[in-house]
Structure 1
Amino acid sequence: MLKFISWILFLAIALVVAALSIANREIVTFSLDPLPFAFDLPLYGLLLAAGFLGILAGSVWTWLRGHKVRQENRLHKREVEELKGKTLNLTRELEEARARNSAGPAPDALAPPITDTPRIEHRAGR
């Protein structure tokens, strides 16, 4: 659907440009007054060149203003990739720990720890 709309828009613009070109075929002189440049060209060529330069200037301006946003996006992308890697490592470690624990506790883990120091018990309520 979007492709169809873009084709319709393209055809409408092409018709406007064609009508502009047919209606403005007169030759005009374009000059930059203090400079020694003067060109004779059709009026539609001058209008189309001015439109193209306007679009180009607007695109460059938009690109330059978006520098900060693009830089932040790159930073956030790096952070996301780093966090994805950490998450993957932690998930892997958790699965390994679950696999070790699902096999049952080790036999030594069931026995009380052997210590040489005597146990001191505290009696409450004396």
Structure 2
Amino acid sequence: MRFIRLLFLALLAIVLIALALANRQIVTLSAFPANFGQYLGGTWSVSLPLFLVIFLAMAFGVLVGFIWEWLREAHLRRESRQRAAEVSRLEQEVGHLRTNHVGPRDEVLAIVDGPTARASSSPKPRPIASPAPAPGTTLPASR
């Protein structure tokens, strides 16, 4: 992919250099129609090489396109910010509900939740296995 990008940039540079070399003659750009600038005072024209006029026109077109798209997508960015704020608020609410309205602790759910849930609910981790059997798992005493 990097090679293709470099190849594209090299071809673009060659085309732009060829365009610049083929259009070196000087042209005059006027801001107003003929003889209208004399009524405003001063000269409202500039002489530049033709390739520079072409490059500036392309750069101006790209700039106008960027600004146009930025303005066109403003409502999408605003909606995205609003949705992100709503998601953040809902995540905080769910976290608050989990901490304040926790039901009775089920051992199976504690195993499924993993060590992160146990670490957040108690300051020191409980051992996974203990020497004493779990309640309700022992066999009746022999007679």
Whether TM-score is above 0.5 comes out as: yes
Alignment of 1:1-126 (within 5 A): 1=1, 3-32=2-31, 33=33, 34-35=36-37, 36-93=43-100, 96-99=102-105
Q: Deviations over 1:44-98 (max 9, x none)?
A: 000000000000011111111111111101100101111111222233345x433
Cα distance in 1 for residues equivalent to 2:90 and 2:9: 44
Separation of aligned partners in 2, 1:51 and 1:44: 11
Q: Which moved further from structure 2: 60-69 or 28-37?
A: 28-37
Q: 5+ unaligned residues in a row in structure 1: which ranges? A: 103-126
Give the paired residue count.
Answer: 99
What CA RMSD, in Å, does the superposition of the two structures yield over aligned residues?
Answer: 2.0
How far did 1:11 drift? 2.0
* Distance verdict in 2 for CA 1:76–1:47, change over 3 Å: same
1:8 Cα deviation after fit: 2.6
Query: Relative to structure 1, is the Cα distance of residues 24 and 75 closer, same or farther in structure 2, using a 3 angstrom cutoff?
Result: same
Which structure has more RCO (C-alpha within 8 Å, separation ≥ 6)? 2
CA displacement at 1:31 relative to structure 2: 1.1
Which structure is higher in helix share? Answer: 1
- Counterpart-to-counterpart distance in 2, 1:73 and 1:40: 47
Alpha-carbon distance between aligned partners in 2 of 1:20 and 1:48, rounded to the nearest angstrom: 10
SS at match of 1:97: coil
Change over 3 Å in CA distance of 1:4–1:87 after alignment to 2: farther
Q: Given the two structures, how large is their TM-score scaled by the length of structure 2?
A: 0.61
1:25–1:67 Cα change, 3 Å: same
Seq. identity, %: 32
